[in-house]
Chains A and B, each alone.
Chain A
Amino acid sequence: MIALVALFQRDLRLMLRRPADIVVVLAFFIVATALFPLGIGPEQNLLARIAAGILWCAALFAALLSLDRLFASDYEDGALDLLLLAPGALELAALAKCTAHWIVTGLPLAVLAPLLGLAFGLDEGALAAVAATLLVGTPTLSLIGGLAAALTLGARRSGALLALLALPLNVPTLIFGSSAIEAVTTGMGFAVHLAILAALALIALATLPWAIAAALRQAGE
């Protein structure tokens, strides 16, 4: 337990000592979202209708930006060997790292998204849905991204490969995340969508740490 807390604290501390890395992710999210009104034109009705999809896609891309360093820095400086040798379960260590990643990217994205939704003319109900779906959906993105990051360790052009692996796997989360917001704007509730997102997150939580640990062991050999 002490080992896990140490790892979690270490990762948080490392990320907070490089605030620029977090700011870049959030700035990318803002800029990517702001490009759509410029490209599509300022028609309010159209923008409000597609806002959900835009916010979710932009959040997905922004989360990807920071994932390539999740395990790569440990791989490059030899700290991965120390993780592999730690007596506790590597699965829990992988989970601790993904959790730290979620806290510094997923959580700020979920907080920032409703503010951007406001600029798209979304009403209060839809804004709440944006925040809620991202809050429940982004842990899945961090875990799936963690698996892609672990699988691409040591590969050439691992960033591009990571995106190629992670994006298709994130499709279910993307579909239910953005359709929840659409459901709210058309007058229906989004409880069902949220439940499915939570189910996806739980499935990811129950399976992916094992897959990530296996990929890390493979990379360590």
Chain B
Amino acid sequence: MAAAVGLSLEVTDLACRRGGRMVFDHISFAVEGGEFLLLTGPNGSGKTTLLRALARLGRTESGTISWRGADIAWLGHLDGLKGDLTVAENIDVAERLRSGRLPDRARVNEALAAFDLSSLASRAVRTLSAGQRRRAALARVAASLSNAWLLDEPLNALDQTAQGCLRKVLGKHLALGGLAIAATHASIDIAGTRRLELAA
């Protein structure tokens, strides 16, 4: 885990446009290490657009996003897993791509165990169910050495047990000084959760 000292995100007066339409404007907030920000709001309110802008995957219209001391891991609404690779291979290659370093074996095994994937680690991802894939994608984030997690609809396709796993992993990540931001229409309640409601 990277040192969480000084980890923060500050967003000031952010506006994003998508398909010619202003999705949201005048958004300002700040998040620090140990905090969990939940982006909520109805469909089309710009949760994904905001999250992509925070990851610098999307363009912003105006305003500033300033990360400090952050090493970002991204989970989009698509899993980002290759179907012909095994779960373990996917996690391995994703972390090497993300950080340019070899993944930490112990962390990978811990993440696999946390999402109950240890027995599926050597299965090709295309043979897994949607929920198992989502768990594998979450394990990819948990196995990374990142201190800032950006999660788009992390609960998609997860059953009750897996949702519990996610809460536990998120809780641990925050306790170690990490930061997480999730866009979701469902609710994830863990200690230290803050909410940002986007209007339609």
A interface residues, Cβ below 8 angstroms from B: 1-3, 5-7, 9-10, 13-14, 17-18, 73, 76-79, 81-88, 220-221
Contacts and interface: CB of A to CB of B under 8 A. Distances in A.
B114 interface: no
A83 B89 CA distance: 16
A81 B93 contact: no
A1 B82 contact: no
A2 B96 contact: yes
Interface in B44-97: 55-59, 72, 74, 76-85, 89, 92-94, 96-97
A5 to B, nearest CB: 8
B74 A10 contact: no
A87 B100 contact: yes
Nearest to B77: A78
B146 to A, nearest CB: 11
Contacts of B84: 13-14, 17-18
Interface size class of B (residues with CB under 8 A): 20 to 34
Contacts of B83: 77
Nearest to B73: A85
B74 A87 contact: no
| 4 residue pairs, one from A and one from B, having the closest CB atoms | A78-B78, A6-B96, A78-B80, A17-B84
Given A3-B99, A82-B74, A221-B57, 17 more contacts: A2-B100, A3-B97, A5-B96, A6-B96, A9-B93, A10-B82, A13-B89, A14-B84, A17-B85, A77-B80, A77-B81, A77-B82, A77-B83, A78-B80, A79-B82, A84-B57, A220-B57
20 contacts: A1-B100, A5-B96, A6-B97, A7-B97, A10-B85, A10-B89, A13-B84, A14-B84, A14-B85, A18-B84, A76-B78, A77-B80, A78-B81, A81-B57, A83-B97, A84-B57, A85-B74, A87-B98, A221-B58, A221-B59
Which residue among B76, B85, B92 has the maximum number of chain A CB atoms within 10 Å of its CB? B76
Contact of A82 (B59, B77, B80, B89): B80
B101 interface: yes
Main SS of chain A's interface residues? helix
Interface in B117-165: none
A79 B80 contact: yes
* Interface residues of chain B: helix, strand, loop or mixed (majority): loop
Contacts of A79: 80-82
B102 interface: yes
A81 B74 contact: yes
A12 B104 CA distance: 24
Nearest to B79: A78
B60 to A, nearest CB: 11
Contacts of A221: 57-59
A2 B96 CA distance: 6
B80 A81 contact: yes
B93 A10 contact: yes
Nearest to A6: B96
A122 B97 CA distance: 47
Contacts of A7: 93, 97
A6 B81 CA distance: 14
Contacts of A86: 97-98, 100
Contacts of B97: 3, 6-7, 82-83, 86
A3 to B, nearest CB: 5
Contact of B82 (A14, A81, A84, A85): A14
A82 B57 contact: no
